[in-house]
Amino acid sequence: MKKHILITGASKGIGFETARYLAENKCSVTAIARSEDKLGELNSLFPDSIYPLAMDITEENAGPFIRDHLQKTGKKIDGLINNAGLLINKPFQKLTRDDWYNQMEINLFAPVFLIQELFSFFNSGSHIVNIGSMGGFQTSSKFPGLTGYSVAKGALSILSECVSTEFSDHNISCNCLCLGAVQTEMLNQAFPGIEAPVKPIEMGKYIGNFTLSAHKFYNGKVLPVSLMDPS
């Protein structure tokens, strides 16, 4: 029986490649993003495996919308990859309240509410993977302009540890992968001109494999996945 994985931020970069890798490896994938066109591209590649959901995960009705989709398709969840993220590159003194709220909403609160609202759909033995950042990894190098993003991703790391404890009696695992430099639009936004040692297709394969099997070895872990600092 196919495992069913739900992934946010699936329209480009790491999310797109992770969804594609999972579909190539006999999983069914609910791919969530705001861009209907990009999701359509994924669906056209794997019409029998990719279930596209064009939506904004920060909306109040996001959880009910996904639950309705799961009920209609008869799907349960074997893996949830909270990959969607927002990076605002701005000096600390210039960060506005809206900048802080927006980054926390997408990088932290959306995963919180999705995990809560989808809880009843998780199969026993399922795996929640939160995609963090080396910016939010304790003792890692920090960079000017990325304070809001790094703080939000640091909170996501702690959330992962807490959720693993909360769900331990339900046989649901939760881990956080703190990614280093990957050649994505977000990296270009934060560090223009930097050439990363890892491509999205490579990281997508890693995250896909991690989601499917790493919870046999890890639970409640915050793991660095990095070859270099983008300095």
Q: What are the boundaries of each domain within the chain?
A: 3-225
What does the buried/exposed string (b/e) look like for 55-77 if buried means 16 or more CB atoms within 10 Å of the residue's CB? bebeeeebbebbeebbeeeebeb
Token pair of 135 as six digits? 């910016």
- 127 — phi, psi (to 5°)? -135, 120
pLDDT at 192: 76
Cα(30)–Cα(99) distance, integer angstroms: 29
pLDDT for residue 188:
72
pLDDT tens-digit series, residues 20-73: 999 999 999 999 999 888 899 999 999 999 999 999 999 999 999 999 999 999
- Cα–Cα distance for residue pair 159/163, rounded to 1 Å: 6
pTM of the full structure: 0.94
Is the pLDDT score of 187 beyond 90? no
Q: Mean per-residue pLDDT for 175-185?
A: 85
CA angle at 129 for the pair 125 and 133, rounded to the nearest 5°: 160
Residue 231 has pLDDT above 60, yes or no: no
pLDDT tens digit sequence for 139-157:
898 989 999 999 999 999 9
pLDDT at 35: 87
Average pLDDT over residues 216-226: 96
| Higher-pLDDT residue of 158, 1 | 158
Whether residue 196 is predicted with pLDDT greater than 80 in this model: the reply is no
Contact between residue 169 and residue 118 where contact means Cβ atoms under 8 Å apart: no
Q: Which of 85-89, 120-124, 142-146, 195-199 tops mean pLDDT?
A: 120-124
**How many CB atoms within 10 Å of residue 119?**
14
CB 130 within 8 A of CB 223: no
- How far is Cα of residue 74 from the mean position of the Cα atoms in its chain? 23
Using the predicted structure, report yes or no on whether residue 230 has a pLDDT greater than 80.
Answer: no
Which CATH architecture is the domain 3-225 placed in? 3-Layer(aba) Sandwich (3.40)
Average pLDDT, the chain: 93
